[in-house]
Structure 1
Amino acid sequence: MSQPMMILVRPQMGENIGAAARAMLNFGLEGMRIVDPRDGWPNPKAVAMASGAGRLLDRAGVFPDVAAAVADCQYVFATTARPRELTKPVLTPEEAMAQARAMIAKGMKVGVLFGPERTGLENDDVALANAIITVPVNPEFASLNLAQCTLLTAYEWRRQTDGAIPVPEIDLATGIEVEKLGDHYEEVLDKAGFFFPETKAANMKLNLRSMWSRLALTRADVQTLHGMLRQIIRRQG
């Protein structure tokens, strides 16, 4: 992955998938992943709209959920215009793509999430991201369609050919490694009665998942946190 992977989450219209593919290829991006497309895949309307960018659709990976689509990524951006309860760094497309280019230059795998046309990304999707991309648009009319948002991000990627911001030499954990860490803690905390009362349990678990991704954990961090929890359980046993 010498480029960020553009991940379309539950896209609704084939035409928008095709338009996003064209926008990507305009600026030299060719890695597309599609999560649970509403009208199935392959989609002839997407192919027709993509025109000369059809090869992106031919190679696009299709995934059942966001967790699977970002499992091999070490850093994930989520695009959203709506305020979120989740605490995440918020960047412009320019800032995000400068950071992405620097990370990829270090050998890291980066993904960018784009939500479905009608509702955008859900909180469960954003919880799996490390940071948020928000375009500074007119607050009275902030909605961008899927292809427009993809184009703005791809443009900033192309523009960041030079002058990428430096990042330290770190070995960030992949999405699947962070997910397994979350599973481990959630299981133990559930047995300990942490998620109480039951009416608040779902939101508590969501906030915990968001916290793990926000920390941008290294592989060593993940191993240490697993080890700490195992030792606590061992001592209590």
Structure 2
Amino acid sequence: MWYFKNALTRKNLMALTGLFLSFFLIIHLVGNLQLLLPAKEAQLQYNWYSELLSGSWFIKIVSYGLYASILIHAVDAFYLSQKSRMLSGQYAKDRRNRASSWYARHMMLLGLIIFAFLVIHFKDFWYPYKFGEIGLDADGQKDLYSLVVVAFQDWWYVILYAVAILALGFHLIHGVFSATRSLGLYSPFYTKMVKGVSLVFGIILSLGYLIIPIYLFINN
């Protein structure tokens, strides 16, 4: 029962799951960048890559860890947010919010936007690929590429995706930095360095994910 009683441990666990999810986002982006290849090449390459991952026992184990991390991260975030709200009355006259960024003060809202998008994302891509019946490409592979391209032909879906990615970017900028502090990195030198790395990481990842739907929308 220590997991439910120790808020510090919860913070550590949320930090570790957050860093794991951040690492996954890098790997996921690398795979998705194949969508920027010329159409015919992108279709075969992306579908081959998707089939390779879906048939790997190692990736399946990692996937279970990913799903668990998402749930644990979300539950811990909700618990800590509620606890912070309960204690906020003690700081009613505290004006420390002027020293923090707006996205640092609205991490829960950003997280809710990301979680809602994940539900949509799983429904539109993961579930049809895993359990639905989708077409095959020229090599007889499940044509996930065409499913993605068709989805991003709708301007509103591109905007929805862009809003979620922007929320993710701001969430990462503060989240990666906050995670290192939760794990005990308080040195003034490293704090400045990690804050800079977090900013660059959030911006690069956001741009990487944003360019894909915009490219597919314009070219299809």
Q: Please confirm whether the aligned pair reaches a TM-score higher than 0.5, indicating the same fold.
A: no
Query: Higher strand proportion, which one?
Result: 1
Which range, TM-score by smaller chain?
under 0.3
Bigger-Rg structure (1/2): 2
